[in-house]
A and B are shown apart, each in its own frame.
Chain A
């Protein structure tokens, strides 16, 4: 497993760090003493079986949940609630059904008090970026699942946060759309100088899109391993799935997780 890790010098300094996070709901211990760092400008996946607390951790980092103990820092500052340095992409898209694509994409900016002309200009740019040009005046119920998630992604990009938190963003779209999304996500990580936190339960997806994969084990959740694929980023998106390193890491992760699957 060590062969996939780059030396400490090769890893950028962390943009987000979670330190000794514990979270209990009543008597249920969701997270125990979890520590993890998320390197700047890279994509880190939180991977694990369902019920392992990966979404809980993401929501604590987002400031939507408060940890029972421990601290999250974003750019060195402790998190006390949601903030403009982080933007969230939701599993079920969380779009306003009564608002057009344009207003939905601009909604983060609207809540932050950006004037109408300015925010719609910014929204139009990101609508083009995610490939939805021409759909500005459509409503969410007129779009396919994949297109709706593009709206959700454009909304998160439009507020130009340093950190993008993605909660199983592709799990509600069909397989073909998901593959296209994964390719596009690699392009996004390369272009935008942002830090991506990506929750998924798909091993293949995690290995395909990640610079760093944190494997979480359940009850109570802890980080069991951190894997950093070394040679996949340089590959063409079409070749990654045939790369021996990709296949090895997928096998390795499955070997370590299979005991935890009921």
Chain B
């Protein structure tokens, strides 16, 4: 973007919002919002502490496992739904229901089914991410150029070869788009899981800091979480742009 003839680098608006945050915090309008500089100072203080690193590794482990299952199950299911009318008719209503369902309300049920441990947190994370991944993979496959499919058939492709050599790649831009949105939802899922199921990881830190009104600590952890989610999402968006032409019509 250009302002007064000067080219601004991407994300310049963050500087503006950061300044506003600092100003509001300095005026002490609410204890809820300490100045950004204080938050950053706190962040610097806690980021190397064993408690923080333990929380980070607990959250990262549950998050990565949850995302892994969402991707490993979601992409093949989505591709199958896009390819096979019968499977699509059977599964689509459920996918749509779970996509819009208030999954947080299901967490107590998961606790009854799978216990209070890591397993339930991972399942919660997967449930937040998987539906949009399925829907995007399905949409990607459904809009594959018809003549690519005929080309594969006419040269005698087996169903497996068509799946691995054509469907997956032609749908890859949409699949990555789904994974990107799914990953962001998984961040929500893992924190909700760690707040509701067993108080561990970042969820435990949020609980601890907010209960004791340690607002600069609370915001510091939130900043870390935001930075992580943002980096992953930007990385996936970059991959998505790189493979954009895979979906070309010709």
Contact = CB atoms under 8 A, between A and B. Distances in A.
Contacts of A63: 154
Interface in A82-101: 82-84, 86-88, 90-98
B156 A92 contact: no
A242 B227 CA distance: 72
A194 to B, nearest CB: 16
B29 to A, nearest CB: 53
Contacts of B246: 97-98
- Most chain A beta-carbon contacts within 10 A, residue among B165, B172, B243: B165
Contacts of A93: 250
Interface string B137-181: 000000001011011111111000100011001101000000000
B245 interface: yes
B154 A87 contact: yes
Contacts of A96: 148, 166, 169
A140 B155 contact: no
Q: Using C-beta atoms within 8 Å of the partner chain, give the interface range for chain B.
A: 20 to 34
Contacts of A140: 248, 250
Contacts of B236: none
B147 A94 contact: yes
Contact of B155 (A95, A107, A145, A172): A107
Given A83-B156, A97-B246, A141-B248, A88 B150 contact: yes
Contact of A111 (B148, B152, B249, B250): B152
A82 B169 contact: no
Contacts of B248: 97, 140-141
A62 to B, nearest CB: 6
The 10 closest A-B pairs by CB, nearest first: A94-B151, A94-B147, A108-B155, A88-B154, A97-B248, A111-B155, A82-B154, A98-B246, A111-B157, A90-B147
Interface of B: 145, 147-148, 150-157, 161, 165-166, 169-170, 172, 243, 245-250
Interface of A: 59, 62-64, 82-84, 86-88, 90-98, 107-108, 110-112, 139-141, 145, 148, 159, 172
